[in-house]
């Protein structure tokens, strides 16, 4: 791919990490009713890979589509729910599945939104984390990789809706933006 300056996390590293996270989640939610909630669209690759390694019997999935107002590379923190859940999460254990935790604004809004529906618990699982960018105090319970403050694409993450199809996480060339 011409517009990629460098590959930050290759396909094999992603696969290994997803398996590692799934094993921990399988232990933590054994014998519980788990609802995995993917945040659209960025989480689709991670959600699909993670789900295939989940061995809990009582697992359901659902999706929440949100959009954040603001420029394409910076989250404004003003989040709008574009598509709500189908499943009633009251009393269930919720695991939010996200592509990246950046400033924390999006996930903090989503967590509060879901908390109002009285699930038994809510945890966050993100494949990528940019700790240096945090503006709101929020941490994920399961983190794939801590990455530096660089704009990344691939494995579900986009720039201007493109590059979600790349099987790795890469940094865009500045000209590619």
Q: Which of 10, 58, 102, 158 is catalytic?
A: 102
Closest separation in Å from C-beta 69 to ligand IMP: 11
C-alpha dihedral, 165 to 167 to 173 to 177, nearest 10°: 20
Between 19 and 78, whose beta carbon lies closer to ligand IMP? Answer: 78
CA–CA dist 105, 33 (Å, integer): 27
Per-residue x/- track, 32-51, Mg ion (CB under 5 A): ----------x---------
Stretch that binds ligand IMP, among 11-19, 47-55, 84-92, 145-153 (CB under 6 A): 145-153
Residue 102 catalytic?
Answer: yes
Which of residues 92 and 152 has its CB atom nearest to Mg ion in the complex?
152
Burial label, 118 (beta-carbon count in 10 A; 0-12, 13-18, 19+): exposed
In angstroms, rounded to a whole number, what is the distance separating the alpha carbons of residues 72 and 76? 10
Q: Is 156 in the site for ligand IMP (CB under 6 A)?
A: no
**Closer residue to Mg ion (CB): 42 or 154:** 42
Cα-to-chain-centroid distance, residue 144: 10
- Residues 71-100, one symbol each (x = binds ligand IMP by CB under 6 A, - = not), give ----x----------------------xxx
The residues, ordered by sequence, that sit 6+ positions from 79 with a Cβ below 8 Å of its Cβ are 66, 67, 68, 105, 106, 109, 110
Residue 18 interacts, among Mg ion, ligand IMP, none and using kind-specific CB cut-offs from 5 to 8 Å, with none
CA angle 83, 86, 92 (to 5 degrees): 120
Helix axes 11-28, 44-51, angle to 10 degrees: 60
Q: Which residues bind ligand IMP (CB under 6 A)?
A: 42, 75, 98-107, 151-153, 157
Active-site residues: which are they? 102
Q: Which residues bind Mg ion (CB under 5 A)?
A: 42
């Amino acid at each position: 791919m011409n517009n990629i300056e460098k590959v930050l996390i290759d396909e094999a590293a992603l696969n290994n990490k997803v398996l590692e996270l799934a094993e921990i989640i399988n232990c933590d939610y054994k014998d519980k009713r788990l609802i995995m909630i993917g945040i659209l669209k960025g989480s689709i690759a991670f959600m699909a890979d993670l789900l295939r390694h989940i061995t809990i019997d009582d697992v359901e999935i659902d999706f929440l589509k949100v959009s954040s107002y603001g420029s394409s590379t910076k989250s404004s923190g003003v989040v709008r729910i574009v598509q709500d859940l189908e499943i009633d999460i009251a009393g269930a254990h919720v695991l939010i599945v996200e592509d990246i935790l950046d400033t924390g604004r999006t996930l903090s809004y989503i967590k509060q939104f879901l908390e109002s529906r009285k699930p038994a618990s809510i945890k966050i699982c993100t494949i990528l984390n940019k700790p240096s960018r945090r503006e709101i105090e929020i941490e994920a319970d399961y983190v794939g990789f801590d990455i530096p403050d660089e704009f990344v694409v691939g494995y579900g993450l986009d720039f201007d809706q493109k590059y979600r199809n790349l099987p790795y996480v890469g940094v865009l060339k500045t000209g590619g933006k």
